[in-house]
Amino acid sequence: MAPLYIALVHYPVLNRMGDTIASAITNLDLHDLARSCCTYGVPVCYIVTPLRDQQALAHRLTSHWIDGKGGEILPERREALKILKVVETISSAGEDIFEKTGKRPIVWASTARKEPGALAHARARFLLEDEDRPFLLLFGTGWGLAPAVFEETDGVLDPIPGINGYNHLSVRSAVSILMDRLLGDRDALE
Ligand code: SAM
């Protein structure tokens, strides 16, 4: 199985007016993504933000849990938060994966919209099992990833469809559901 890396992108994303912006980091996103990634064996979850104050905030949060009092009280949370890595851009995440694995990642984007040519989850799972390159799956914040991001990726995944037309999930739910579809133990369903 190829390693699947995750990135939570805070820039470039859209705001509700459709402008490209840098969104703010959310404490809950960092905790929940770290815990989900740890559960599903994701090697690194990148927190992408070019804003220095937001990088500092993310470092302050993680160091409380990794080196500070938080980790002493809840050692398993320390374990999870070690998975997070703050980087400036999506490209820096790709560079970091290259340094770790010697291979450039195949980059996929996620969205709640159905895009032409999007990859079915079963196909994405097959590629993860078949390829010997790492993968990087991008998730948006704000109102989702900016169009420029989709132009740069190697593919986009089908949305999680929901069952009655509504499918606008929090990023935390979307990450967990997609990880279970792509990496989860199928035998556990039987
Ligand atoms: N602040 C918001 C929150 O978490 O409530 C962030 C919303 S942002 C648009 C949610 C991100 O989760 C999307 O950019 C996408 O990456 C992913 N996402 C949400 N719903 C999805 C769906 N149905 N299928 C696939 N990905 C989805």
With beta carbons less than 8 A apart as the criterion, state whether 24 and 54 touch.
yes
Which CA distances in Å does 20 have to 13, 84, 141, 159? 5, 24, 11, 21
Per-residue pLDDT reduced to its tens digit, 94-130? 999 999 999 999 999 999 999 999 999 999 999 999 9
Q: In percent, how much of the chain has pLDDT > 70?
A: 100
Per-residue pLDDT reduced to its tens digit, 136-150? 999 999 999 999 999
Alpha-carbon span 3 to 14, nearest angstrom: 28
pLDDT at residue 71 tops 80:
no
How far, rounded to the nearest angstrom, does the alpha carbon of residue 102 sit from its chain's CA centroid?
Answer: 21
Predicted TM-score (pTM) of this structure? 0.97
Residues with a CB atom less than 6 Å from ligand 1: 110-112, 139-141, 143-145, 159-160, 167-171, 174
Q: Which atom of ligand 1 is nearest to the CA of 140?
A: 14
Which amino acid residue places its CA nearest to atom 20 of ligand 1? Answer: 169
Q: Which atom of ligand 1 is nearest to the CA of 29?
A: 4
Q: Which atom of ligand 1 is nearest to the CA of 172?
A: 4
Which amino acid residue places its CA nearest to atom 7 of ligand 1? Answer: 141
pLDDT band at residue 76 using 50, 70 and 90 as cut-offs: confident
